[in-house]
């Protein structure tokens, strides 16, 4: 183990930066667990890097890289000693904060009288390790949806208050990434308790520059073997982040409908957001909506992997006797018929109307509703669309040929 001051007295203050050896990451997990946190870490499962409960760092995807493009996701194993050089997987913080299925009410009839109760159990404190900048911005958007409107979602609020985030600065960007277009990355700028920047690999001793984002982050870090980061380490970390940002900014994608380049490399995404709200709202009858509807499966994958999509449906479940009932909130999607079902029937009757609803809300009317775009540029909707529909291409097609 690298030479460290164990448990620096007084702890770290917000804004301070520490150096943590790679193998001390497990000490960080143990410090969190001692404080009662359930710990969730990245791991390889079913051919992808997902979030899963873990008690230690044994199953971290060390040396694993992901390659993503429209409708494809593949992993490869390198012999590099890198902890977080994959980018984003199918899961996001949404899976833990806005639960896929959540009981909201249960009722029981006793002697002819109904007794209703709402779940009141306080949530288990949760620490998630490996979160990226795009996902922290997505979380901030979901906070607006669930906490900052007229109605506050109490269960979300309780989970959110008990959430500890160990974020990671990306060192790679995928072809599907376009956080630079959305102003959400790649550099971490907000929303974390601790932020790790990984340095080194096989050639040199690796470790993390750890930035302290909150007091509780500093407290936890004080229980982990660390030392103050040197100026050289801090500037190296900053330079690494700056270089990735520059690489993204310099992407020259060319027109979306350009012929595929000679190489087999996937197209590097970006999204021109200039005037995007009006662009989409002024082109609601553009022929591109018909075009995309030919390809769209209306399967809802894009909305469900989207870290900001927040639609839900309520299911009423009763036992056979009708004496016990419960109500559950489940993830829903604007690609389903039930989503637009009203008294007179289904409002959005075809895939064209449903895709248009999704994209126009995500990129245009979301701004009216929440003062921010609903897209953070994580690219999940592109990767996890089984037919590889790419929203950046759809927008570019509309922009390039305004009717």
Partner 1 sequence: MAAVRKKKLAVFKFASCDGCQLSLLDCEDELLQLAEAIEIAYFLEARSQQLPGPYDIGLVEGSITTPHDRARIQEVRQKCHRLVTIGACATSGGIQALRNWADHDEFLNYVYAKPGFIDSLATSTAISDHVRVDYELRGCPVNKHQLLQVVSAFARGLKPQLPTYSVCVDCKREGTVCVAVSQGVACLGPVTQAGCGGALCPTHHRECFGCFGPQEMPNPASLSARYKSQEVDSPRLVRLLRNFNSNAPAFRDEGNRLSG
Per CB under 8 A, residues contacting partner 1 are 45-48, 50, 71-74, 90-91, 95, 100-101, 112, 294-301, 304-305, 315-322, 330-333, 335-338, 350-351, 354, 383-384, 386-388
CB of 78 to partner 1, least distance (A): 18
**Nearest CB to partner 1, comparing residues 216 and 313:** 313
Q: State the Cα–Cα distance between residues 196 and 165, nearest whole angstrom.
A: 11
User: Per residue, what are the HEC states of 177-238?
Assistant: CCHHHHCCCCCCCCCCCEEEEEECCCCCCCEEEEEECCHHHHHHHCCCCEEECCHHHHHHHH
CB of 265 to partner 1, least distance (A): 17
Dihedral Cα 164, 137, 69, 239, nearest 10 deg: -80
Q: State the Cα–Cα distance between residues 316 and 91, nearest whole angstrom.
A: 27
DSSP state of 340: G
CB of 282 to partner 1, least distance (A): 27
CB of 302 to partner 1, least distance (A): 10
CB of 333 to partner 1, least distance (A): 7
**Nearest CB to partner 1, comparing residues 18 and 60:** 60
Q: State the Cα–Cα distance between residues 39 and 54, nearest whole angstrom.
A: 6
**Nearest CB to partner 1, comparing residues 203 and 338:** 338
**Nearest CB to partner 1, comparing residues 201 and 388:** 388
User: Around Cβ 121, how many Cβ atoms within 10 Å?
Assistant: 7
Q: State the Cα–Cα distance between residues 161 and 38, nearest whole angstrom.
A: 14
**Nearest CB to partner 1, comparing residues 206 and 379:** 379
Q: Which of 28, 17, 31, 30 is nearest to 213 (CA)?
A: 17
**Nearest CB to partner 1, comparing residues 48 and 196:** 48
Token pair 């970390």 is found at 237
CB of 239 to partner 1, least distance (A): 34
**Nearest CB to partner 1, comparing residues 192 and 289:** 289
The residues with which 228 forms a beta bridge, in sequence order, are 18
The DSSP bridge pattern shows strands 126-131 and 38-45 to be parallel
CB of 129 to partner 1, least distance (A): 17
């Amino acid at each position: 183990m690298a030479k460290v001051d164990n448990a620096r007295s007084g702890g770290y203050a917000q804004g301070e930066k520490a150096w943590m050896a790679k193998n001390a990451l497990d000490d960080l997990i143990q410090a969190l667990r001692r404080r009662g946190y359930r710990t969730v870490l990245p791991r390889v499962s079913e051919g992808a890097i997902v979030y899963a409960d873990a008690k230690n760092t044994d199953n971290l995807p060390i040396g694993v890289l992901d390659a993503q493009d429209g409708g494809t996701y593949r992993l490869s194993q390198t012999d590099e000693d890198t902890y977080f050089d994959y980018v984003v997987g199918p899961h996001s913080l949404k899976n833990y904060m806005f639960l896929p299925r959540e009981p909201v009410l249960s009722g029981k009839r006793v002697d002819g009288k109904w007794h209703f109760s709402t779940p009141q159990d306080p949530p288990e404190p949760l620490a998630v390790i490996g979160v990226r900048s795009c996902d922290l911005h997505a979380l901030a958007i979901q906070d607006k949806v669930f906490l900052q409107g007229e109605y506050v979602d109490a269960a979300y609020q309780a989970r959110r208050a008990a959430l500890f985030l160990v974020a990671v600065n990306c060192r790679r960007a995928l072809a599907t990434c376009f956080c630079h277009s959305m102003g959400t990355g790649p550099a971490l700028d907000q929303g974390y308790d601790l932020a790790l920047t990984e340095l080194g690999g096989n050639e040199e001793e690796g470790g993390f520059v750890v930035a302290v984002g909150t007091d509780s982050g500093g407290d936890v870090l004080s229980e982990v073997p660390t030392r103050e980061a040197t100026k050289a380490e801090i500037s190296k970390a900053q330079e690494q982040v700056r270089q990735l940002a520059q690489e993204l900014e310099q992407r020259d994608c060319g027109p979306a409908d350009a012929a595929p380049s000679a190489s087999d490399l996937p197209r590097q995404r970006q999204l021109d957001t200039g005037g995007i709200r009006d662009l989409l709202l002024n082109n609601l009858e553009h022929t591109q909506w018909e075009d995309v509807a030919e390809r769209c499966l209306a399967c809802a994958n894009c909305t469900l992997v989207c870290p900001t999509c927040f639609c839900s449906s309520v299911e009423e479940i009763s036992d056979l006797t009708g004496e016990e009932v419960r109500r559950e909130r489940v993830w829903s999607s604007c690609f389903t018929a039930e989503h637009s079902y009203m008294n007179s029937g289904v409002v959005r009757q075809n895939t064209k109307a449903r895709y248009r609803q999704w994209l126009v809300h995500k990129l245009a009317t979301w701004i009216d509703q929440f003062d921010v775009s609903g897209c953070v540029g994580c690219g999940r909707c592109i990767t996890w669309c089984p037919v590889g529909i790419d929203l950046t291409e759809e927008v570019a097609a509309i922009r390039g040929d305004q009717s």
